[in-house]
Amino acid sequence: MAEDQEANAQDVIMQLRYLQNLYTQQYESLQNSITSYSLSATALQRNIDLLVRYNMVQDSNIMISGEGGVYVPGKIGKSEQVLTYVGGGYLIEQEPAKALEFMRENQKKGEAALSRMLSDKKKLEGELLDIDYKLNALEYQQQGRRQ
């Protein structure tokens, strides 16, 4: 009888450890997604800020980053259209106001996605804590039986 309980407890512990590893992987993946979104949200906000000031920056001199610390002088010309990245490697030509509207809509969708990710992260944290509690309780019980 005691051997059956010991075997059952070991099975439960193995299942809980499996779930713990699975949830930990999901948690890390979610954390990476949150970090990636945060970086892209920062770039999106910079683009929105640029579009808000679009009329002020026309005919301005700028320095264009060539990566690795190299900057090339440039000038922003006057234009009634801007190129907007719409995903999948595609750019479309739009009026600045429409591009700004598109960017702000993307920002709202991104904030909603971030909210869902943070909610999922919190749920996973709760599940991991619950599994840790159960594992500790089972291991404590097993130690008590062995003594």
Q: Is residue 75 part of a domain?
A: no
- Please give the tally of structural domains in the chain: 1
pLDDT, mean of residues 6-13? 81
3-state secondary structure of 21: helix
Are the C-beta atoms of residues 62 and 75 closer than 8 Å to each other?
yes
Q: Is residue 8 part of a domain?
A: yes
**What pLDDT sits at residue 49?**
92
Q: Is the pLDDT reported for residue 1 higher than 60?
A: no
Q: Is residue 60 part of a domain?
A: no
**What pLDDT sits at residue 42?**
92
**What pLDDT sits at residue 120?**
95
Are the C-beta atoms of residues 77 and 129 closer than 8 Å to each other?
no
**What pLDDT sits at residue 23?**
95
Which amino acid is residue 8, in one-letter code? N
Q: Provide the CATH number for the domain around residue 40.
A: 1.10.287.370
86 versus 147: which is more confidently predicted?
Answer: 86
Cα–Cα dist 121/53, whole Å: 36
pTM of the model: 0.71
pLDDT, tens digit, for every residue of 64-100?
A: 888 788 999 988 888 889 999 988 999 999 999 999 9
The domain in which residue 36 lies consists of 2-54+80-146
The DSSP element (H or E) to which 142 belongs, if any, is helix 96-146
